[in-house]
Amino acid sequence: MNKKERRAALFSLLSAKAVENGVKVVESFATDTLKTKQMIDLVTKMNVTSGVFAVCPEDIGAFVAGRNIPTVKFIGVNYLNPMDLLKYNNLVFTKASIEKLYSMYL
């Protein structure tokens, strides 16, 4: 898949997720004290059964806290790909990751 096709597929899937109300935005994560149990509570409160959390690479605490949850995948926003959007039902961004995604593609 070349660069233009990948970009078009990503934008198409992002639009489809937005229409289906599958996109959620979180202000930020408390990265210094975040534990896996707290992350599980957050995921259940958000009603995310299976989802991709697109976060900035600086949010290392979110990666560490969420890596053991089997129904959730944490990924850097610069590594967001069409395959993960097809596999998971929900997409969760932080405000900083949306701004980074916006700056990457505009």
Total of domains in the chain: 1
CATH number at residue 32: 3.40.1370.10
User: Residues 72-89: what's their mean pLDDT?
Assistant: 94
Half-sphere exposure of 15 (CA within 13 A, CB side): 6
CA angle centred on 89, ends 85 and 93, rounded to 5°: 65
The pLDDT confidence band at residue 32, using thresholds 50, 70 and 90, is: low
How far are the Cα atoms of 27, 30, 31 from residue 84, in angstroms, in the given order? 22, 25, 24
The residue range of the domain holding 78 is 3-105
Q: What is the pLDDT of residues 33-42, one digit of tens each?
A: 788 999 999 8
Half-sphere exposure of 13 (CA within 13 A, CB side): 19
Is the model's pLDDT at 31 over the cut of 80?
Answer: no
